[in-house]
Chains A and B, each alone.
Chain A
């Protein structure tokens, strides 16, 4: 599935929620169901700066596709990481770089997009794009 297709599914899921409590209950569920990251990747180098909670984001590149795993000590942050991984993991660096993050506005998580030290959603997105850029560069150097 293309990134845009996944994100529009996510948007439609969130459209079903009448109030903030349902939305957060869903985010918390997503947080609890985030696939476990390999403990060896929970290192300082994978820690995202600028978050009130600690967030580790790890990326693997198989030569074609980027695969992300993540963890956080805060459940809501894990839920957001889960959403981002669902959207961006398993795509090529170019697809990730070309993708839009507008869906986060559409699902009403704008409060988490402010450049404050909240849950660092912006930092996570930046880091995802950064990984994509690094892998794209590696790819082109390999060619």
Chain B
């Protein structure tokens, strides 16, 4: 595909892009699919599907230490994706990228390995109200085990972090700050660079949960300055079941291994085992080679379009949807922070999100309803759930018009 190097995605580009995603041409409930559940998972371009098929058709082999041809080729392909990821998030070294099953496992890896070695009774871990359960529960488990304390930074009424409160919560006992780059429920983009600087001043280690960010904006881990950054491939147009952890070399080096097994060792005797170097120390067992290679194809695809152009188009979609939905006096948008990624959580009058979502689904539109794995956030807002429409760069303004029509249909049903 050749696209013009313009600032945003134009109509002809959009048609080409949509043709790259086979699922977008299918129908659901006899209507053309409108896929607005991109914050849950993104669709896959044909090049990613092809990469998976090609891997299993002609390259499948176990990686590392194989002397035969296929194993060497598979290893080269597997390690090339690590370099692509390094460049994609601008890490200093490719060995600062550890493959995991996804963002959740990456956070659990840090909680288990770094946490067990560095957290003790009385220490504090600081998160925020808008965190996904994946960035709450691993820390709760660690705190319970160690007798440490979980602190929670509140939000302002628009859904942005209360940075004054954040400054007040940071203290000498704060050992770790773990915050989402982008809220999966509100869309809020958090000031992660400032958060990291403030936390580092107090000597705390910083993890940024990048699950929602990687597909929407240029992520530069060196510019952010964080110690850890976590992500999932399936939210970045890649396969499910693969993701990664970026960790600063010095921090990863000082950490004990995560799981024990093959790949992560240097030498094993019954008396003593020595561990492998980075990143293999954290990658026990046969890795998910096929999906890593699929992830690489997704990164190539995004690079081919340009993340800045993706961001520009998604911003246009968000602005259009916000204007469209705000025009309806019955619609209440949940999350109006000045810096937002391309998703809108909303409620229609006092109609239950499940009721609304059921009707919207029958109109061929995939939205998500419920708590979005952020129950504490919704509790703090005093609501039981939202309807969430999350946009990707293959979405169109016409599809947002269809959402507005579906909202009118919901009102016909329930009011």
Residues of A bordering B, CB below 8 Å: 20-21, 24-25, 28, 52-54, 73-77, 117-119
Is B370 located at the chain interface by the 8 A CB criterion?
Answer: yes
Q: From residue B40, how far is it (CB to closest CB) to chain A in Å?
A: 12
Q: A53-B355, A76-B354, A117-B370 are in contact. List 17 more A-B contacts (CB 8 A).
A: A20-B29, A20-B362, A28-B355, A28-B413, A52-B353, A52-B370, A53-B352, A53-B354, A54-B384, A73-B384, A74-B352, A74-B355, A75-B352, A75-B355, A75-B414, A77-B354, A119-B358
Is B244 located at the chain interface by the 8 A CB criterion?
Answer: no
Q: From residue A130, how far is it (CB to closest CB) to chain B in Å?
A: 23
Contacts of A76 in B (CB 8 A): 354-355, 358
Q: Are A25 and B413 in contact (CB under 8 A)?
A: yes
- Which residue in B352, B353, B362 is a CB contact (below 8 Å) of A24? B362
Measured in the bound complex, the distance between the Cα atoms of B354 and A52 in whole Å is 7
Contacts of A73 in B (CB 8 A): 352, 384
Q: 6 A-B pairs, CB-CB below 8 angstroms?
A: A24-B362, A52-B353, A52-B354, A53-B352, A74-B354, A77-B352
Residues of B in contact with A, size category: 10 to 19
Q: From residue B408, how far is it (CB to closest CB) to chain A in Å?
A: 13
Give the residue among B29, B352, B354, B413 with the most A Cβ atoms within 10 A: B354
Q: From residue B174, how far is it (CB to closest CB) to chain A in Å?
A: 35
Contacts of B353 in A (CB 8 A): 52
Q: From residue B33, how far is it (CB to closest CB) to chain A in Å?
A: 16
Measured in the bound complex, the distance between the Cα atoms of B414 and A77 in whole Å is 13
Measured in the bound complex, the distance between the Cα atoms of B413 and A77 in whole Å is 14
Contacts of A52 in B (CB 8 A): 353-354, 369-370, 385
- Which residue in B29, B354, B359, B414 is a CB contact (below 8 Å) of A119? B354
Consensus secondary structure, chain B interface: helix
Given the known A-B contacts A53-B352, A73-B352, A75-B414, are A24 and B358 also in contact in the complex, defined by CB atoms under 8 Å? yes
Q: From residue A14, how far is it (CB to closest CB) to chain B in Å?
A: 16
Measured in the bound complex, the distance between the Cα atoms of B357 and A119 in whole Å is 11
Measured in the bound complex, the distance between the Cα atoms of B29 and A28 in whole Å is 19
Measured in the bound complex, the distance between the Cα atoms of B362 and A20 in whole Å is 8
Q: From residue A77, how far is it (CB to closest CB) to chain B in Å?
A: 7
Contacts of A53 in B (CB 8 A): 352, 354-355, 384
Q: Are B414 and A28 in contact (CB under 8 A)?
A: yes
Q: Are B384 and A24 in contact (CB under 8 A)?
A: no
Contacts of B29 in A (CB 8 A): 20
Measured in the bound complex, the distance between the Cα atoms of B384 and A77 in whole Å is 15
**Interface hits, B337-358 → A, CB 8 Å:** 352-355, 358
Contacts of B352 in A (CB 8 A): 53, 73-75, 77
Which residue of the partner chain A has the closest CB to B371?
A: A52
Give the residue among B352, B362, B384 with the most A Cβ atoms within 10 A: B352
Contacts of B362 in A (CB 8 A): 20-21, 24
Measured in the bound complex, the distance between the Cα atoms of B357 and A118 in whole Å is 10
Measured in the bound complex, the distance between the Cα atoms of B413 and A73 in whole Å is 16
Measured in the bound complex, the distance between the Cα atoms of B29 and A77 in whole Å is 20
Which 5 pairs show the lowest CB-CB distances between chains A and B? Answer: A74-B352, A74-B354, A53-B354, A52-B370, A52-B354
| Proximity bits, B230-241, A CB within 8 Å = 1, else 0 | 000000000000
Measured in the bound complex, the distance between the Cα atoms of B242 and A18 in whole Å is 44
Measured in the bound complex, the distance between the Cα atoms of B369 and A52 in whole Å is 8
Contacts of B354 in A (CB 8 A): 52-53, 74, 76-77, 118-119
| Proximity bits, B374-415, A CB within 8 Å = 1, else 0 | 000000000011000000000000000000000000000110
Measured in the bound complex, the distance between the Cα atoms of B369 and A20 in whole Å is 20
Q: From residue A96, how far is it (CB to closest CB) to chain B in Å?
A: 26
Q: From residue B383, how far is it (CB to closest CB) to chain A in Å?
A: 11
Measured in the bound complex, the distance between the Cα atoms of B357 and A76 in whole Å is 11
Measured in the bound complex, the distance between the Cα atoms of B352 and A5 in whole Å is 33
Measured in the bound complex, the distance between the Cα atoms of B355 and A74 in whole Å is 6
Measured in the bound complex, the distance between the Cα atoms of B371 and A53 in whole Å is 10
Q: From residue B45, how far is it (CB to closest CB) to chain A in Å?
A: 27
Q: From residue A59, how far is it (CB to closest CB) to chain B in Å?
A: 24
Contacts of B414 in A (CB 8 A): 28, 75
Measured in the bound complex, the distance between the Cα atoms of B354 and A73 in whole Å is 9
| Proximity bits, B259-276, A CB within 8 Å = 1, else 0 | 000000000000000000
Q: Are B370 and A24 in contact (CB under 8 A)?
A: no
